[in-house]
Amino acid sequence: MRPSGRAPPGAAVAIAARLEYIILVGIRNNDHYFVCQALMSHETLPLKVRRGLAQFGADLRDARRRRRLTVEMMAQRVSVSRGTYLKVEKGDPSVAMGVYAMALFVLGFGNPFERLADVRDDDTGLLLDAERLPQRVRPRRTGQ
């Protein structure tokens, strides 16, 4: 923004208002503001994914308790606020993957993301690649 507090004409102005996972974006065009809504909530995720994240968060909470660590201690070690760490333990999808990875590392699980989607374990991908193999391989011609 300019020092006058007004954005230049045609500039996109992001409104950092976030209420219950609703992100509002305002676009200024010819001195008119149009506000659109991007809904990013738990409802946009498939039920299996929501349940999996909730279970993952509960597992992290149980692992923290077994190690006799408080929420404050974990938040400090993961380098996030207490509120953000509590979102991790609830399995909130809006928390960055790096925070989840750091929580796992702090709890002593190492780096489970390292081989999570490894191509060697991708059976479907390997089958699709095998189907695309050519039936016959011919040497390339040289431009004579």
Read off the pLDDT of residues 83-107 as tens digits, 9 standing for 90 and up.
999 999 999 999 999 999 999 999 9
Task: Give the range among 11-20, 80-89, 130-139 with minimum mean pLDDT.
Answer: 11-20
With 0-12 / 13-18 / 19 or more C-beta atoms within 10 angstroms meaning exposed / middle / buried, residue 71 is: middle
Q: Which of 94, 90, 79, 2 is nearest to 40 (CA)?
A: 94
Task: Give the range among 10-19, 59-68, 69-78, 81-90 with minimum mean pLDDT.
Answer: 10-19
Q: Output the pLDDT for position 144.
A: 62
Q: Is 129 helix (H, G, I), strand (E, B) or coil?
A: helix
Asked if 79 and 102 touch (Cβ cutoff 8 Å), the reply is yes
Q: How far apart are CA 59 and CA 57, in angstroms?
A: 5
Q: Output the pLDDT for position 33.
A: 40
Instruction: Count CB-CB contacts under 10 A for residue 113.
Output: 13
pLDDT band at 42 (very low <50, low <70, confident <90, very high): low
Rounded CA Rg of the chain: 24
